[in-house]
Chain A
Amino acid sequence: MNNNRTTAPPDIEVIDLCKRFGAVRALDRVSVKFRAGRIHALLGENGAGKSTLVKCLMGYYRADAGQVMLDGQQQAVLHARDAHALGLGMVYQHFTLVPQMTVAENFLLGRRRLPAIIDWRVEHRALDEFMASMPFRLDPRRMVATLAAGEKQKLEILKQLYLGRRFIVLDEPTSVLTPTEADEVLTEVRRLTDAGLLTVVLITHKLREVMRFAQDVSVLRGGKVVAHTPVAAASEPSLAKMMFGAPSSVEKPEPSRKSASATHDPYLELERIHALGDRGTPAVIGVSIGVRPGEIVGIAGVSGNGQKELVQILAGQREAHSGSMRVGGHAFHGTRRELERWGLSLLIEEPLVNAAVPSMSVAENLALRQFDRPPLAIAGWVLKRRALRPFARALIARYGIRVGSASAPLQTLSGGNIQRTVLARELARAVRLLIMQNPCFGLDVAAATEIRRQIMRVRNDGAAVLLISEDLDEVLDLSDRVLVMAGGRISYETDRAGADRYEIGRHMTQALARLSA
């Protein structure tokens, strides 16, 4: 099945591709030529049409109009199977590996004709041979669950090569990697293309990666190609301008104005917190953190290093094994009364699952914190439905939640608007401590900017803010102090002035014991 390993990578051209979803023109006469043996970056914001373009190419969507040319010949790609047969493959943003299987088993999964009985000695020999011919390798006998994110990404790429694919689309391949891992993976990909093994399409919104690793770049905006250029002829500012139509719209906040905050006592104090993860293994190990009023403390780290468990402890969703948590100098147990008294607000990741009731209306979700307090209730138990509507309308207007009616179920809203709804609810009262986890994950630039602005406002009003995020840029942009969480411990701490992304990245990867993978 690897007989076509020696075939040259193809040259692919899409011509006048159009795709419509309802009233939205996702692709508007898009033409791009991907030249053989090169890395071609597709750059654009969320919703610019990058994913739609490659999904049409890979046969997941059927384009309304347009052609796909492979090595100069027109091809009909109507189905994912057609794409695979032509040697086109895609590596998704979210891994499609099976964690409880070995690397070798994951390699075999994609094969079209699997023998009825698998002779593992023969397969392992073939895999070892294949690995030996690759610029980077993995032990086929390891369980995928034990691989670090960077290794999983490499496995996905190796798998495509093993399956004989010569044209690979990488969809945001570095979104779950540390900067060091990202550089390593992309260096290897570049080595593969330079060796004439592959043609690569790199979907990304990270300009740095485009400048360093890609050879050609196409910029998409609003379903149209706005520019094609060799990377050598482009610069970061020029690309950003094409991408956003204006200079980068993500604002970077001012550092904390209150330098006096250093003299305050910490408002949130965690002392030597230990906790076990879902698998019963230690997930949080001796974590001590202090957050003072008027500062943002950011915790960076690759996902699966104990952040989830730490947030669950802070949110009262998981019990700490030992250690203490104090808010405002008092022991804290996460009861509703304490949350109210100490002005604690939480914005946990995946709010639809973790912090909201999907089938209740937007108005009801907005009132979850205060539904039994005046003015929404009388004497703590008779709810005033009539007071709910103006309460919700005021928050909807203030936080720019785009929704037709306040009585629409929350689950019918887009991700950005769900995030805004939960944020509005959490910020609707006096906030003295705000804890957030990946607050802008999956949001477009406008929504992310708005949410960041709200976070800064809360901090400038004197609240203590703890930001736990897998997005290193977000941590670096917002935090007054940066901590790194790796292997369940706080492994590094620096202030804003001393923050260096590579130094931080090094600390993010040093403890590769991935605890709750």
Chain B
Amino acid sequence: MTGTFDLGWWGVLLAVVAGAIRVSTPYLLVSLGETLTEKSGRVNLGLEGTLVFGAMSAFATCYLTGSPWLGMLAAGVAGSALGLLHAAICNLPRVNDVAVGIALFIFGIGLAFFLGKPFIEPRAPMLPGLPLGNWSSNPAVRSAFEVSPMFFFGIVLAIVLEWSLKHTRWGLILRIAGESADAARAIGLRINRIRTLATMAGGFLSGLGGGFLSLYYPGNWNEGLSSGQGLMAIALVIFARWSPMRCFYASLLFGGTAAIGPAVQTIGITEGYYLFYAAPYVLTLGLLIYSSSPTRTLAGAPAELSISR
């Protein structure tokens, strides 16, 4: 955020808006993926691992081939492979999806760190951004409004998903599997196959989220890259009550919150700024407390989820 000091507190606001756009993208992609998976009646808690593994795959592929878009594809494929692993294990009788998710979380991160060691130092070509701030002469504004196409992809995807859940055959089928396994079985749907595909799609999107981290913002590969964003995105799905459009709004909120810390630091506050870095975690905790209650179940939760049964 060079140059924000000219703008003073306006700079903080600008940084928060820019952060909302920039930082929200991985939240958005992961939460849309998890919404898809949970709508089918399964929770994949391993998306943090998928995110990190996706980030490593994207960066490594991009470094080796020189193409960031090929890197994104690799991230998606790697993510759906982890999704397939989760689904395949959960398809076995009496397997708990939450436990498998946690195992996969650790597995994904471990594998990414193991395979990603050689890629920590080098630089790789980055994903291009769309310069939407050219109307302004202020460099801070210009850099704030350099927006990744992945952000727009996320918006379009959220709109398409919201519409598809209601208006398409697969949307309806996905919801039956998530709302009533009995009803799904009675009309001859293959629940495990639906859930497998939904988990793979969720993994693909989470992988893309990881690719965004390593190839756009912050734009490198290291072991502290994600710091729990995949887990927060899962909490965000609950807050958004399983609606893709609400996932988008919630992602903006999370992105904006995450940008407070760096922004406050750039205007010269040197003491206690690191407390602001904790803002997204505090927000997650607050939202989860706000949206849960010992006396009632969550409104809008797919009935087949192990957390709502």
Contacts and interface: CB of A to CB of B under 8 A. Distances in A.
Contact of A109 (B172, B297, B303): B172
Contacts of B299: 279
B284 interface: no
Interface residues on A, range: 20 to 34
Interface in B143-183: 166-170, 172-173, 175-176, 179-180, 182-183
B183 A98 contact: yes
Given A80-B188, A277-B296, A279-B296, A118 B168 contact: yes
Contact of A96 (B183, B293, B302): B183
A276 B295 CA distance: 7
Among A108, A109, A115, A118, find the residue whose CB has the most chain B CB atoms closer than 10 A.
A109
Contact of B295 (A80, A92, A100, A278): A278
A396 B293 CA distance: 41
A498 interface: no
B130 interface: no
A176 to B, nearest CB: 15
A250 interface: no
B179 to A, nearest CB: 5
A116 interface: yes
A105 interface: yes
Nearest to A100: B179
A22 interface: no
A120 interface: yes
B183 A118 contact: no
B168 A108 contact: no
B238 to A, nearest CB: 16
A97 interface: yes
A260 interface: no
A105 B172 contact: yes
B172 A108 contact: yes
Given A108-B172, A117-B167, A98 B297 contact: no
Contacts of A81: 188
A100 B174 CA distance: 13
B187 interface: yes
A99 B169 contact: no
B92 interface: no
A96 B186 contact: yes
Contacts of A280: 293, 295-296
A114 interface: yes
A319 B295 CA distance: 9
Among A94, A98, A101, A279, find the residue whose CB has the most chain B CB atoms closer than 10 A.
A98
Given A98-B176, A277-B296, A117 B183 contact: no
A247 interface: no
Given A105-B172, A109-B172, A279 B183 contact: no
Interface string A277-308: 11110000000000000000000000000000
A114 B295 contact: no
A97 B183 contact: yes
A118 B167 contact: yes
Nearest to A105: B172
Contacts of A116: 168-170
B297 A96 contact: no
Interface string A58-94: 0000000000000000000000110000000000101
A110 interface: yes
A94 B182 CA distance: 10
A98 B169 contact: no
B179 A99 contact: yes
A117 B168 contact: yes
A110 B188 CA distance: 9
- Among all A-B residue pairs, the 5 with the closest Cβ atoms: A280-B296, A96-B186, A114-B169, A98-B179, A98-B180
Interface of B: 166-170, 172-173, 175-176, 179-180, 182-183, 186-188, 293, 295-297, 299, 302-303
